[in-house]
Amino acid sequence: MAQDTYTLAWILPYVRQALRQTSNFEFRTYANALFAQLEQAQVQGIARFQLGQYSGGQTYQYDAMPHELRALVSEAFFHIFHKGYIAPAAPDSHLNPPPLHMFNVTQRGRAWFQGKEPLPEDAERYMKFLRERVPALDPLIEQYVIEALTAFDRDAHFASAVMLGAASEKELYLLTEAVFLALKDPKKKSKLRGLLDRRKLLELFETVRDTIQQGVAAKVIPYTDSEGSNTHLMSLYEAIRVQRNDAVHPMNAIVSEDSVRLLLQSFPYALSKSEELRAWCVANPGSL
């Protein structure tokens, strides 16, 4: 595979895969595991030493790799170090300074390396994954998510939470409109319309969730459309709650990188499930 532009976002998925089964390592171990992943992906410039060539104990021809790639391998290493995914190995029993040639994967690092969701740092692949799961992606939601990813990449976690919360809120309104069409009881329709007009988000969310669950219990909504709906809808509402409470309320003002990362990673699945429910409601008016 030809690679003209080497970026941190491009290489991080390979780093995550390379260290997935590792708990402690040296830089050489990290580099060789990463080169193996790049070799498997047929990245240009990755070549092994051939039989009979002097390798100095190395597997890959490091000096023959593009300079940009070699620099990026180092940059990616210090990126995961800066993020706290790895740390120098623990000191010995005499509490001498930690050995700076040996590194351990931290608890948060294990969670990151084991993850399979699209990385928020890799906006291009993230959006590709999102569009694959939601082909008819609402343009406003798409713009909110792109800006959430941009803010996250710049460590602007408050801004990222606000953008993701806005995307989730937009989806809740879209789903509510669809549920409104699927209702047959005039009183329920009137209540839902009132909540929607007044933007009473908690009551709106609870009413939509309960209506869907009642449809599931009555076996009106098929299992294929409803599977996991409660969890995914809660994920959408959690993103809205973080946006409205934690990110913009001056008495809270606490938004962590981890909380935003988790919301970003779950968002494609939550949005996909919400869109499945929305499509069913639109196709089945007056059925709930």
pLDDT above 90 (res 18): yes
Q: Which fold has domain 8-114?
A: Arc Repressor Mutant, subunit A (1.10.10)
For the chain, give the mean pLDDT. Answer: 87
Q: For 216-227, how does the pLDDT look when each residue is reduced to its tens digit (9 = 90+)?
A: 888 899 877 777
Dihedral sign for Cα 62, 35, 21, 77, please: positive
102 contact partners, CB below 8 Å, separation of at least 6 = 24, 25, 26, 88, 89
What local confidence, expressed as pLDDT, does residue 68 receive? 93
What local confidence, expressed as pLDDT, does residue 268 receive? 93
What local confidence, expressed as pLDDT, does residue 255 receive? 77
Residue 43, SS3 per DSSP: coil
pLDDT above 90 (res 38): yes
Long-range contacts of 24-28 (CB under 8 A, 24+ apart): 24/89, 24/102, 24/103, 24/104, 24/105, 25/102, 25/103, 26/101, 26/102, 26/103, 27/77, 27/101, 27/103
Where in the chain do CATH 1.10.10 domains reside? 8-114
101 contact partners, CB below 8 Å, separation of at least 6 = 26, 27
What local confidence, expressed as pLDDT, does residue 252 receive? 58
Could you give the CA distance from residue 140 to residue 1 in angstroms, rounded to a whole number?
34
What is the 8-class DSSP label of residue 225? H
Q: For 248-257, how does the pLDDT look when each residue is reduced to its tens digit (9 = 90+)?
A: 665 555 778 8
Q: For 97-151, how does the pLDDT look when each residue is reduced to its tens digit (9 = 90+)?
A: 877 889 999 998 998 898 877 888 888 889 999 999 999 999 999 999 999 999 9
Q: Give percent of the chain above pLDDT 70.
A: 93
pLDDT above 80 (res 55): no
Asked whether 274 and 236 are in contact (CB, 8 A), the reply is: yes
Q: For 195-240, how does the pLDDT look when each residue is reduced to its tens digit (9 = 90+)?
A: 888 887 888 888 998 999 898 888 899 877 777 777 778 888 888 8
Could you give the CA distance from residue 11 to residue 150 in angstroms, rounded to a whole number?
17
Neighbours of 76 (CB within 10 A): 22
The model's pTM is 0.74
Asked whether 43 and 3 are in contact (CB, 8 A), the reply is: yes
Q: For 61-96, how does the pLDDT look when each residue is reduced to its tens digit (9 = 90+)?
A: 999 999 999 999 999 999 999 989 999 988 877 888
155 contact partners, CB below 8 Å, separation of at least 6 = 257
Asked whether 118 and 265 are in contact (CB, 8 A), the reply is: yes
